[in-house]
Structure 1
Amino acid sequence: MTGYPTNLNNSQWQVIKAFLNDYRKRRYSLREIINAIFYLIKTGCQWRMLPSSFPNWQIVYYYFSKWKSDGTFERIRCSLVKRYRRRSGKKSQPTAGIMDAQSVKSTLVSSSVDTGYDSGKRIKGMKRHIIVDTTGMLLCVKVHSAAIADRHGGRLLSACLSRNWKNVKKIFVDGGYQLPGKNQLSNTPINGYELEIVKRSDLKEGKVSPRRWVVERTFAWFETNRRNAKLYERQPQTAETIIELSAIRQMLNHLYT
């Protein structure tokens, strides 16, 4: 077995293994395949540049695509969120979330994706739109064009939020989600969610935005992985999975180190 710092320890592997149906003899170790995926995310290397000590990169990418498509990574993430919340003394199902978006630059590799220009941040690329719970754990993620305004991009999150987290009633957002003259999103699929808008203008100098700092910390966690420095993925769904795996790695480190 390889000895990279990104490798799963035994406790972490037992958690992941339960979702992979690893009950038959295989030519390639699923543990090493998972280790290779986390190595790629942490170091930011290309698939073809994975060290030869891992299984062949085509094998690693095959399982990455398979687990992305069949929802394995999503099930792992949701399970870990619930475990982390219980460990923190909270109920497994959150009742509140915090929404925010981060614009990231595109690359030549990702140029075929539906990129756009964020005039506010002056960035050409895509937006990572996330909702976290009040502890900062990822509830759902959508990647879309940076040209889409936050208040419209927020609507894209409604499907995955309601699919796995039906108890969420309230979402904290910043002023970018407020329509002129309104206190909440209108004509949106997330009807029924209570939105609490926290504006920077409402804060005194030196004060930290209540709840808002939690989602900013989550973005900072993601940025410790070099694969998230820019948009390197050709498809938004793949970029979403990379963020999802970054969250999984973070929760595993919190729970089992």
Structure 2
Amino acid sequence: MANCLLLLGALDKTREPNRDGPINQGFKKTVAFLRFSQGRSTRTSFLILDAQSVKNTDTAENSGYDGGKKIKGIKRTLAVDNQGLPQGIHVTTGDVSDRDAASSLLMLHADQFDLVQRIMVDGGYTGDKFASLVGNSIGADVIIAKQSDLKHGHVTPQRWVIERSFGWLEKCRRLWKNCERKLHTSTMMITLAFLRFMLK
């Protein structure tokens, strides 16, 4: 199975992103199947959203400096359900704000999120502008994780779920840094890593 995923990646590596391509279709069907096998609806009504900044290698063409995390590279934004299964992936340069990257992800996947009622985020996503954009784009409410927990270094149970999802990516050595030339290739490699993990 891993060899098949690598072959699909090689076939798509030079292409621009295609949401109807074989990798994305397989990804969506796998997530839906896993949710269904757990006795849940194939589409979620609750999302947890966060971003991770990652350093580039010399081969990467796209780069930006994340002043908050002091990292020059790219930013990976994930939306997951309450089991940590990925529902949306978006990659930008590191200088894009967390709110702007999240807004782009939600608009990009708006057709998949029409049943979403609530989105949990951390304090980096506070503000009426982001809440209004979420409401206007997918009709969901924004829930901010408790600041008291965040200040004391505690991770609320639901916020811990997305930290675990990022941890799954760390099991793939290629994703320890961003070594892809194009942003859409970075997105594809994250998708393949999640696919490989879910199909084990």
**Normalising by the residue count of structure 1, what TM-score does the alignment of the two structures yield?**
0.69
2:10 to 61, 65, 75: 61
Alignment partner, residue 132 of structure 2: 186
Equivalent residue of 2:88, what SS? strand
Residues 235 and 187 (structure 1 numbering): CA distance in 2 closer, same or farther, change over 3 Å?
same
Query: Which residue is 1:172 aligned to?
Result: 120
The Cα of 1:67 is off from its aligned counterpart by: 10
Larger-gyration structure (1/2) = 1
Aligned to 1:87: 37
Structure 1 residues 201, 190: closer, same or farther in 2, change over 3 A? farther
1:152 Cα deviation from its structure 2 partner = 1.5
Deviations 1:38-66 (A, max 9, x none): 9xxxxxxxxxxxxxxxxxxxxx7235556
AA paired with 2:174? R
2:109 is equivalent to residue 161 of structure 1: yes
Q: Which among 59, 62, 67 is matched to residue 109 of structure 1? A: 59
Q: Which residue of 1 aligns with 2:178?
A: 231
Partner residue in 1 for 2:67: 119
Cα shift at 1:168: 1.4
Cα RMSD for the two superposed structures:
2.5
Matched pairs, number? 198
Paired with 1:102 and 1:203, the residues of 2 have a C-alpha distance of 17
Alignment of 1:125-140 (within 5 A): 125-140=73-88
SS at 2:24 equivalent: helix
Within a 5 Å distance, the mapping from 1:200-219 to structure 2 comes to 200-202=147-149, 207-219=154-166
CA deviations 1:114-160 (Å, max 9, x no partner) are x1111111100110011011111111111111111111111111233
Q: What does residue 77 of structure 1 align with?
A: 27
1:245 aligns with 2:195: no
Report if the CA contact (8 A) 2:110-2:138 is conserved: no
Q: Contact conserved, 2:149 with 2:155, CA < 8 A, in 1?
A: no
The amino acid of 2:43's aligned partner reads Q
Unaligned runs of 5+ in 2: none
Structure ranking higher in helix proportion:
2
| 1:104–1:125 contact (8 Å) kept in structure 2 | yes
Q: How far is the alpha carbon of 1:201 from its aligned partner?
A: 2.2
TM-score, normalized by length of structure 2?
A: 0.87
How far apart, in 2, do the equivalents of 1:66 and 1:184 lie?
Answer: 32
Letter in 1 for 2:71: I
Q: Deviations over 1:203-225 (max 9, x none)?
A: 69585313110110000001100
Aligned residues of 2:48 and 2:162 also touching (Cα < 8 A): yes
Contact 1:151 1:185 in 2 (8 A): no
Structure 1 letter corresponding to 2:196? R
Q: Distance in 2 between matches of 1:74 and 1:169?
A: 24
Aligned partners of 1:118, 1:35: CA distance in 2, in Å?
31
Query: Can you give the 5+ residue segments of structure 1 that lack an aligned partner in the other structure?
Result: 1-6, 9-31, 39-59
Partner AA of 1:133 in structure 2:
D
Matched-pair contact (CA < 8 Å) for 2:118–2:141: yes
Structure 1 vs Structure 2: percent identity of aligned residues? 34
Q: Give the letter aligned to residue 138 of structure 1.
A: P
- The one-letter code of the counterpart of 1:151 is R
